[in-house]
Chains A and B, each alone.
Chain A
Amino acid sequence: EVQLVESGGGLVQPGGSLRLSCEASGFTFSSFEMNWVRQAPGKGLEWVSYIGSSGGTVYYADSLKGRFTISRDNAKNSLYLQMNNLRAEDTAVYYCATSSPMDSDALDNWGQGTMVTVSS
């Protein structure tokens, strides 16, 4: 069974940094493309970032303007999101999700999410 477990969320002050992790199990992590998607309280889904299976290809939402960095460690079956210079508008639940092997644009397995709150 595919399992994705996010961690690392919490309360951080504006301008601060946070590193989210997503631990994967139940599938060959190194073969799958991965994504981060976020959802602000009471709002819709917003795609954040994508990383290829080897980590060589990454994409980001235009709105992030270089503040976030996605990475992965296939030896540890883990995905990461380094978030710097955090703003109040980054407050959201952050989900990690696999790209479907049938259609890489489709996100077919999701974690339960980790909450990030940016506030002073």
Chain B
Amino acid sequence: QSVLTQPPSASGTPGQRVTISCSGSTSNIGSHTVNWYQQLPGTAPKLLIYSDDQRPSGVPDRFSGSKSGTSASLAISGLQSEDEADYYCAAWSDSQNVVFGGGTKLTVL
């Protein structure tokens, strides 16, 4: 059971906009920034969004993050086949550790 709650799956067709939610508590998302990771099949995770809504260099602006209270969301617009991957949210916790969501498997139909 992960500390942060994500839907196990999401899907969309090419060109669509998809959102993935991440729910936490006041001890993690509510008081710390949220980061999002993309993991393509068979590869190491990649930082996609940091500090709630910031994109590292090289990440397309189709990816965006937001946060409100104890929940966060990742939005992917203009969905592409190469976006098919697992997505994880993560945040620092007041108990001095990083907590991850269980991951969301995104399928591009």
Whether, in the assembled complex, B51 has its beta carbon less than 8 Å from a beta carbon of chain A, the answer is yes
How far is it, in angstroms, between the C-alpha of A105 and the C-alpha of B51 when the chains are bound? 8
Number of residues of chain A lying within 8 A (CB) of chain B: 24
How far is it, in angstroms, between the C-alpha of A95 and the C-alpha of B32 when the chains are bound? 23
| CB atoms of B101 and A108 under 8 A apart | no
Whether, in the assembled complex, A35 has its beta carbon less than 8 Å from a beta carbon of chain B, the answer is yes
How far is it, in angstroms, between the C-alpha of A82 and the C-alpha of B51 when the chains are bound? 31
Most buried by B among A50, A102, A106, A110: A106
Whether, in the assembled complex, A47 has its beta carbon less than 8 Å from a beta carbon of chain B, the answer is yes
Q: Mark B72-96, 1 if CB is under 8 A from A, else 0.
A: 0000000000000010101110011
Residue of B nearest to A57 (CB): B96
| CB atoms of A102 and B45 under 8 A apart | no
| CB atoms of A59 and B50 under 8 A apart | no
Residue of A nearest to B102 (CB): A44
| CB atoms of A47 and B99 under 8 A apart | yes
**Chain B residues, Cβ within 8 Å of A107:** 35, 37, 45, 47, 90
A binding-site residues for B, Cβ under 8 Å: 35, 37, 44-47, 50, 59-62, 95, 97, 100, 102-103, 105-108, 110-113
